[in-house]
Structures are given as structure tokens and as C-alpha cells.
Structure 1
Amino acid sequence: MGRPAPHPRSSVVPRFLPALTVAALAVALVGCAADSEPAPTDTSTPDARECTASGPVSDSVKVTGDIGTLPTVEFDAPLELDETQRTVVIEGDGEPTPYGSVVTVDYSFYNGTTGEAIESTNFTEGEQAVFVVDETKLLSGLLKTVECTPVGSRVTGVVPAADAFGDDGLEDYGISGGDSLVFVVDIVDAVTRAWGDPQEAPAGFPTVELDESGAPSVTIPDDFTLPTTSQSAVLIKGDGAEVAATDSVYIQYYGLDAETGEVFDQTWDGAPYGGSASGFITGFTNALVGQTVGSQFIVVIPPAEGYGEAGGDNTSQLAGKTLIFVVDVLAAVPTV
């Protein structure tokens, strides 16, 4: 197709790349999504979003190798197209990856214009990349590649510059303005809520009920006594790894005022939150670290371990308040 590629047409990732390098690229894949402000999308029904279709360009990319191993990828550069195309190479038997999920993937990443291999994860268990499938948190073309793809699948996405790094490119990774990209992605997992064995909360704790999506609602007992130190309880015990203080975590949370019951913040009406496990208020971090991935817990946090007492220079709207959080731990990624 078009002019001959200036580099060998068989694009194979030439080496296992350091985790730090892969993490740096992951930041780029996530960070560039913030440059756009997509219109709100109705995700209330399965048909609210359209799945990206295959096309002649994505079908032309030859991918060989078993899922879970570094693929061999061949295509005739330059690949030119106006819209992202998505071809499922090996179809898994899991559920389609939903919008708003936290997805765990292995991937290989190529410049579709030059034919050059750019990056790859190590295709090693526990060292995969983790992203939030959300328009404000992920490169558009990568989102279109993974969304709707069944868990357990290998999928190829060919992405025009408009859904990638646009006219600016990403020169540190050999991507010039206007370059197309090729992703080959193994969908390892996609989750939106906690999973595992239900646990009984201690007597006197607020009651948590879940709707069909897993979103919680909380009922506070009339005789509830505000604690002077943080109190937490596991509601669902997940079977994943323990969260370390140095991990990056991906969570759903629901926060409310323990005295009024007013909800002041939550992720269930948007997308899961990702950040450092040590980047929260003290009571939240202390309850989070040591939890297993897949778990849901409730924590009640007094001002001393939250936003402090009101008054003086403390102008936080949550100062002086005892807070309740219900938290689903969806993923934890080691950073050291």
C-alpha cells in the first residue's frame, strides 16, 4: 500500500523494555487525552456507544504468536486512514471491555507511517499496563482499540494522527506530527467493581447496599457514634495482590458526610480514579494500604485523620467533618 516503507516491513519489538520506560509512555498515552474535551456521552445503555469496526487497513496488519506472548507484527508502511479501525485477531471468551472500566493489558506499539517498533510491555504476569477506559483519561485511538473487545482477546488497532498525537507528534518516541499508529493489545482483564467473598461489617457500622452496577448507597444508623480514630471494615474480600503504600491504585469510591449523609464526592457518576496509594488523606491511605485488589471496604474518618479541624487557615469545605467512604479496589500497580 502506497510507497515502500523506509524501514523493514516486518515490525517486531526488538527487546524487552525497562518497566520505567513503559511507564513513561503510559503517562503519555493517558496524559494526551486531557488535551481534548469530548462532549458528554450517554452510557446508560449498552447501545449508547458505538464499537469501532474493523476495516481494510486494520485487517491488512498480520499478527502472529500466541496471546500472552510478544507478537510478530507485519504491515506495509505507511498505513493511511481517516478513522481508527479495530480487528480482533484472537477472540477471547470474556465479556466485552466496557467504557469506564479499569483495563489490564499487554501491548506492542508501532509507528504506522514509518513501520518502526516503538514500545512494548514485557508480556509478563504482574507487569502489565493498566488504563481507565475513559475519553478524558486515555488516548482516543487506544480507547477505541480496547473498548468492546472481549477480555482474553488480542486486538489490532490502526489509529490516524487525529486519534493519536495529532500534528504535534511525540518526538521522544519517534512519532512525528501526522503519523499513524498501530497497537496490538492483549486484554488481560477489565473491571468496574469489586469482586470476591462478601464479609459482614461489625455491628454499628453504616449499612451499604449495591445497585446492579455495583454503585453503593449508605444508610447511617440513627444512633451512630462518630469515632475519634478511623474505623474500617472489609465488605467484599478480593483475591488480588495486597496494596502497597508505593503502588499506583485504581479505585471506585463514594464519600459522604457522617453527620448529614450528604454525598460530597464519588466516582460512580464518572470514571474510576487512579493515583498514588499514599496520596490521600491519612485515614483513607491507612485503610487502603494492605487491602487486596478486588476488595470493597468502608472507612469512617474523623477530622484529625481527614481534612483537619475547621478554623484558622483551614478553609477546606470538608474541614471539621467526619467522613465515610466506600471504596472498591480495582487495580494496584507497583512503582518500585
Structure 2
Amino acid sequence: MRRRSLAVLAAVPLFFAAACGTEGGDSKAATGGSGLKVTGEVGKKPSVTFPSGSPAAKSSEETVKDGSGTEFKVGDSVIVNYTVFNWDGKSNATVGSTYDAGSPETITVSQDLPSVLREAFVGAKPGGRHIAVVAPDSLTKEQLEQAKQQGQDKLTQVLVLDMVGVKPKPVTVDGKAVDPGVKGVKVENPGPGKTPVLTTKTDEKAPKELVTKVVIKGTGPVVKSGQQLMAHYIGKIWGTDKEFDSSWGKGDPATFGIGTGQVIKGWDQSLVGLPVGTRVLVSIPPALGYGEQGSPQAGIKGTDTLVFLVDIVGAY
């Protein structure tokens, strides 16, 4: 289903990676004792000016711009754009940013986060910008050991956090189901919260064009290009009934950017514009799937037509 995966988390510390578009005016603030200055609009990649001398040896967190709305708390899954810098007193290089990747990440506010990062999230609000200086003093023994394995146990990092909001809870697709009317494909709808059944074993010829058929029409907000979409899905190859992917067995819906090239073209072209709560059957020709190269690791050839049954359970 995914065309490519985000690589930004590979560039940031293990303790942060494991825990895993708001507009605003110009933000410019010096962060107290750290001497750091952050510039740029909230919702765009920031710039940080570092003071001369050695990096801070003590962790700290401060607010650059207040947000509005409900405060985040421990246990929330917060949607956030972040930019990470290695504060070494020399190049102070940027090592990763969700703005470069093209979409925010979701971070669960928990004990898995270094204490200073947890403090930065708790009490923050959507639309706010915060900065966290993460020095070794804010890490637990386990986190220090992880950092040591990465060669980062003496490293101070600076994270600029643009808070987007709390990830919504997925809805359950529920409603009257209709036959999608695609010859050679069968859909069974066992009821709300239960895994549907998709059958693609057939001698019928696969459609040459993209086919999108609503099975259950949702009543939620319409999915827009550029949003993060939450979906349960089953993916099979036309004619063989071979399942190459499914989110149902993993327990949680998948989350990905839609309409921006993060997934195969057939998904971008078929799911934007549908309301949350919809179950939809999508038949995708090779050109709008994985192309002539296919996806060997999934057992998909360059000539295979893909069939997906997708439950749209959220968008933000």
C-alpha cells in the first residue's frame, strides 16, 4: 500500500523514535538560560540560532508560542511536527525534520519519553511551538544505555516542537452495506467492528481502469488531500485471492498521508473525497499500483491488478 516510508525517525535518537499544518504568525523567542533563538512561522521548518561556547549540559524546555484549545496530558497521542538539531558547539547541524519528510508524526506522551520532552508536551496546546533541550541528565538509565549504544550518551540535542493536535480515535464503520457490483469480486460484511471478507478468486478479466465502489457510506467529514488518513484494509491480487497485506491482523489501523504521493496512486486517487466511516472497494491497475517493477517482497508482479477493501476510520 505504501509507496515510500518516512525516514526522518531514523535520524533522531532511539528513545524518541520508539515513542512514536498548524498555521501561525512569525515566532521569535530566546529560550531563557539556554540562549537559543528560534525563528520562523509555526507550521513551517524553523531556524535556530545557537549561542557561542559549549552546549548546555542541563536539559530545559520552554514555550516559544502558546497554542489554544485543550491542553495535552499524559496518555495522549499528539500529532507534532519536529525538527532536531545536534548541539555540539560547532556545526549544530539539523539531523531530522518532519517538515522535510512531508508530514507530522504521532508521539505518545508517556514514561518512554525523556522527562524534559514529557514536560514539553504536558500542558501544551494545538498551534503552539515549544523547544526542548535534551541533555543526558533527563534520560533514565535505560535511555542512557540506548544512547550509549548509538554513541550519543554525551550528546545534547535541541528539538523544536510544533504541536498540531491530538490524534483522533478511529471510528467503527457501521451502516447498510451494498453489493459493489464488480464481477469477479465478492465482499462479505459481518457487522460493525468485525473483519470483512474479500474474495478475488475469479476467471473474470481485471478492469483496465481504476474502479472505486462504496460498500458502506460513511457520515463523517470528507477526506482531504494532505491529511493523515487512518484506515483498516485488506489487499489481494485479482484472480488469485492471494492476500498480500492486511491491517486487521495487526490490531490497529494504518495511518499515512493521503493525496501527497506517500502511498500508491490508486489510493491517492480513490480515497480523497470520501467521508470518514466509509467502506470502499478499490480495484487498481498496475500503472496506478506498483508499476512495471511490482513489489517482489509482497509477491506482486508488474502485471497484477490489486484489489483493496478499505475502511476509512479517521482523517486529520
Q: Calculate the TM-score normalised by the size of structure 2.
A: 0.48
TM-score, normalising length: structure 1? 0.46
